[in-house]
């Protein structure tokens, strides 16, 4: 299989984005979002205080980058031209230089769609908005334009996510194998992630590239969800030592060509108590309820409503903390969301995590997360790691 999106697919995406922009009466798109730039051009980069922007006009995409990214962008980005500026903040602010590029392209008085008022910043960045450096330009919000395109994954994108799932499974299997009472959560996480990534890189060969600044391959760990801390859905690693009777909520993934899956499991270190069995079973029931509700033509909200009804029926609402799931692909979280407030109609090609969780403060949390793709008749499970308690019990 091809391990990244082809240049032809990127060009097709930019053509469709331009057509959508033209239908909105826009003369150009100026995009700052790293994920949207990567989606359209294939250029993966580390976002810093230095602005990077994609200027999309009919037949001539231009990438605006700092000098340190010029060779990188020229080699990787599927664009017609790369324009580099010296540095940030430099003697002339990069946004002023971007304004000069837009003037040279005849866009000084244009109607421009953008995913923000200017470069969003971070890492100490401060700077003017587009309309402040080009007073005559009209800037309209167009963040949703590319995000809407990203909701439906192409066959090539789905294959990259499927490949991600294969290596996430290896990382998780190693994590489970190495987990035992007395070890540090960080020890087993680093060991499993290192070994899985090494095998992955060797097996896939020179063609494999993560195309992600946040991931170098496969990973698995607990991220602090150990014992009573497993009741905190987004805990942070505490280097906890695994103990008998602990509930462990794991997470595993792998990045392939800029895309990744989400695989999470609830494991229990023996001895397994009746209370563990009860909440584990209820959690699996909640996930099954969500899966049964996923069909093309239904709304995302319907899935979350079904899960909340399940929680109500079983008296679990005091232990509810979050919606049922979210889309993913390039981003760890993407739109749409399996949430009662999201009436987006599910369509074939949409990829979601399905992860309703039960969290009992002071005791434990219980959550499986699987990655699925909506199909013409229902859905396909892309992650397939065992989900039953017997398979997920760690010997004491």
Predicted pLDDT at 58: 85
Could you tell me what percent of the chain has a pLDDT over 70?
A: 100
On the question of pLDDT at 99 being above 90, the answer is yes
Q: Average pLDDT in the 349-363 region?
A: 98
Predicted pLDDT at 200: 98
Q: Average pLDDT in the 17-30 region?
A: 97
Q: Count CB neighbours of 394 within 10 A.
A: 18
Higher per-residue pLDDT: 6 or 213: 6
- Contact at 8 Å (CB) between 233 and 222? no
Q: Mean pLDDT over all residues of the chain? A: 97
| Residue 122 confidence class, pLDDT cut points 50, 70, 90 | confident
On the question of pLDDT at 175 being above 80, the answer is yes
| Residue 280 confidence class, pLDDT cut points 50, 70, 90 | very high
pTM for the model stands at 0.97
Residue 335, phi-psi category: left (phi > 0), alpha (psi -120 to 50), beta (remainder): beta
Could you tell me what percent of the chain has a pLDDT over 90?
A: 97
The sign one gets for the Cα dihedral 13, 15, 16, 18 is positive
Q: In what order do the strands lie in the sheet with 81-85?
A: 81-85, 62-66, 53-56, 28-31, 111-114, 138-141
User: Could you read off the pLDDT of 77-87 as tens digits, one per residue?
Assistant: 999 999 999 99
Distance CA 376, CA 347 (A): 8
Q: What is the 3-state secondary structure (H, E, C) of 237-266?
A: CCCCECCCCCEEEEEEEEEECCEECCEEEE
184: DSSP letter: B
Predicted pLDDT at 4: 97
- Nearest by Cα to 323 from 338, 310, 313: 338
User: Could you read off the pLDDT of 139-156 as tens digits, one per residue?
Assistant: 999 999 999 999 999 999
The sign one gets for the Cα dihedral 332, 48, 112, 83 is negative
On the question of pLDDT at 59 being above 90, the answer is no
Q: Average pLDDT in the 324-350 region?
A: 97
Predicted pLDDT at 121: 84
| Residue 1 confidence class, pLDDT cut points 50, 70, 90 | confident
On the question of pLDDT at 262 being above 80, the answer is yes
Predicted pLDDT at 214: 85
Q: Average pLDDT in the 367-395 region?
A: 98
Beta strands in the chain (DSSP E): 28-31, 53-56, 62-66, 81-85, 111-114, 138-141, 218-221, 247-256, 259-260, 263-269, 325-327, 334-338, 351-354, 357-360, 364-367, 370-374, 379-381, 393-394
Distance CA 167, CA 186 (A): 19
The first and second tokens of residue 377, run together, are 């008749």
On the question of pLDDT at 213 being above 90, the answer is no
Domains of the chain in start order, with CATH, are 7-149 (3.40.350.10), 152-394 (3.90.230.10)
Distance CA 180, CA 188 (A): 9
Predicted pLDDT at 252: 98
User: Quick one: CA torsion of 233, 36, 42, 169, rounded to 10 degrees?
Assistant: 20
């Amino acid at each position: 299989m091809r391990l990244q999106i082809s240049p032809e697919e990127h060009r097709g995406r930019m053509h469709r984005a331009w057509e959508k922009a033209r239908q909105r009466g826009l003369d150009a798109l100026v995009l700052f979002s790293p994920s949207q730039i990567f989606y359209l051009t294939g250029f993966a980069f580390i976002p810093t205080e230095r602005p990077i922007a994609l200027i999309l006009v009919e037949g001539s995409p231009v990438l605006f980058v700092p000098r340190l990214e010029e060779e990188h962008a020229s080699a990787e980005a599927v664009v017609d031209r790369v324009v580099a500026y010296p540095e940030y903040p430099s003697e002339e602010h990069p946004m002023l230089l971007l304004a000069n590029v837009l003037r040279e392209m005849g866009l000084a008085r244009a109607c421009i769609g953008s995913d923000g008022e200017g470069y969003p910043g971070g890492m100490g960045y401060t700077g003017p908005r587009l309309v402040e450096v080009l007073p005559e330009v009209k800037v309209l919000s167009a963040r949703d334009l590319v995000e809407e395109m990203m909701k439906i994954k192409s066959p090539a994108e789905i294959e990259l996510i499927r490949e991600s799932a294969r290596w996430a499974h290896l990382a998780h299997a190693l994590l489970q194998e190495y987990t035992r009472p007395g070890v540090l959560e960080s020890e087993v996480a680093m060991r499993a992630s290192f070994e899985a990534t090494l095998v992955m890189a060797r097996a896939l060969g020179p063609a494999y590239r993560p195309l992600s600044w946040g991931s170098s391959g496969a990973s698995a760990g607990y991220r602090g969800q150990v014992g009573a801390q497993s009741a905190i859905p987004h805990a942070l690693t505490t280097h906890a030592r695994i103990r008998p009777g602990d509930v462990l909520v794991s997470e595993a993934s792998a990045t392939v060509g800029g895309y990744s899956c989400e695989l999470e499991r609830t494991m229990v270190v023996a001895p397994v108590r009746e209370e563990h069995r009860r909440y584990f079973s209820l959690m699996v029931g909640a996930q099954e309820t969500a899966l049964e509700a996923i069909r093309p033509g239904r709304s995302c909200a319907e899935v979350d409503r079904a899960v909340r009804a399940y929680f109500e029926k079983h008296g679990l609402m005091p232990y509810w903390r979050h919606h049922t799931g979210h889309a993913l692909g390039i981003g760890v979280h993407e739109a749409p969301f399996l949430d009662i407030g999201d009436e987006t109609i599910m369509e074939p090609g949409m990829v979601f995590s399905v992860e309703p969780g039960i969290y009992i403060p002071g005791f434990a949390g219980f959550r499986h997360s699987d990655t699925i793709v909506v199909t013409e008749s229902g859905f396909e499970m892309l992650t397939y790691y065992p989900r039953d308690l017997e398979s997920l019990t760690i010997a004491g």
